Structure 1
């Protein structure tokens, strides 16, 4: 006989950023909070990132597995230093990608209609096929723009609010779309056929946890490293780096001075430098 959540979780304390949930065995389990309340009371985290409220800060710390504390109320102030150091780039972590995927699966499962006595219902594949046809431009594939339009069909499902700035949240959603496409894009053309689209959202599929590699070392999702004045973050198996000069302007970083005249790294050279970081991707089976 199933026990109610209120009874099972009555004496369970999960800590900031977590909430009590009931397992299939009827036992209490502390999980990262699924969704924070939307009230806005911005706080600055110890990681230099501004959050919509305290709950979002603690939830992000739980999802990324990083220690983040409240530094002060309000937005974070930009630090002025003699030598500019880039802030962390906005990235889609494995936890963000998996959360978005889980929300979409839940939304689709709510639309499943079992067969009746006189009418045929709609199974999971039928529903996905309908959406695929609705947003496909006729080439039998979904690119990132079409995929995002599909997700925007249900704003609640994609309401990821990790950042206080809505523009950053929109960017995060776009990055997570790319991460979902990469997850099941078998021929690496950055487009999904219907079979690839179906595989992406199979409820029983456990996405692999990819790690980043650098100089014979492997790094967990969320790990950071410094390249000149730029910060690189491991996200979904790829190194994602900011691109600023050491003077702090939004350009590709300058190369150290040589005996000749000043030299500056071209955009192509910087792209190649980041590609070097991503040469060896490590995939862990679930």
Structure 2
């Protein structure tokens, strides 16, 4: 008997990432204006620099934990709610912070330097729209596919999948152990899994 376990994929889509970014930019601009200043870039950069120094742990970079602390600084102004449940809301906020960091992280170290932080929250910067690739095809944000019994969703240019062990008798949730890169599948591994799925 096949037991189908429905496990939702919780992801931060491009629209949620960009919405979070817009909310932070609005908050910073309002703060600059509330100090009876005009909202101009040098003053905004000065305020961002001040926040960066306040939440940096001394390594001159903000990681996702420090960025989340920065967001908590003005929870009321941000009014960020993604979901009805607190747990899902906190998870989505963390995922969207990771997506924001990835957006501006030029050296791919999952931390933002001061310059990267300012670039991320500069209104004139227009985030690019990343897409997902699979078997020489390009998929839009929100596209879904299946890998064996697992559901995969394209989110901010990355495939995010449930982590079920697939067999004929039942499907059991387990930590995902993907390719050699600590959980991420290479394009070849993805292709192989899709071929296996199509052969069934």
TM-score class, shorter-chain normalisation, is 0.7 to 0.9
Matched residue count: 182
Task: Find the aligned partners of 1:232 and 1:82 in 2 and give their Cα distance.
Answer: 20
For 1:135 and 1:124, the matched residues in 2 are separated by: 17
Change (3 A) 1:153 1:272: closer
- TM-score scaled by structure 2? 0.81
CA contact (8 A) 2:48 2:118 kept: yes
Query: Following the alignment from structure 1 to structure 2, what is the Cα–Cα distance between the partners of residues 228 and 270?
Result: 19
Equivalence map 1:144-223=2 (5 Å)? 144-223=64-143
The 1-side partners of 2:188 and 2:21 are apart by 24
Aligned mate of 2:45, from 125, 148, 151: 125
Distance 1:104 1:86, change over 3 A: same
Q: Give the deviation of 1:244 after TM superposition.
A: 1.5
CA contact (8 A) 1:225 1:232 kept: yes
Report the CA distance between 1:144 and its aligned residue.
0.8
Q: Find the partner of 1:96 among 16, 19, 29.
A: 16
1:276 Cα deviation (Å)?
Answer: 2.2
- Give the C-alpha shift of residue 158 in structure 1: 4.4
Deviation at 1:190, TM superposition (A): 0.7
What is the aligned partner in structure 1 of residue 198 from structure 2? Answer: none
Aligned-residue offset at 1:157: 4.6
By how many angstroms is 1:165 displaced?
A: 1.9
- The Cα RMSD (Å) is 2.6
TM-score of the superposed pair, with normalisation by structure 1: 0.58
Where does residue 276 of structure 1 map in the other structure? 186
Q: Are 2:52 and 1:142 aligned?
A: no
Relative contact order, CA 8 A, sep 6+: which one is greater?
Answer: 2
Q: Deviations over 1:31-59 (max 9, x none)?
A: xxxxxxxxxxxxxxxxxxxxxxxxxxxxx
Unpaired runs of 5+ residues, structure 1, are 1-80, 117-121, 254-266, 281-286
1:223 shift after superposition: 0.5
Corresponding residue of 1:230: 150
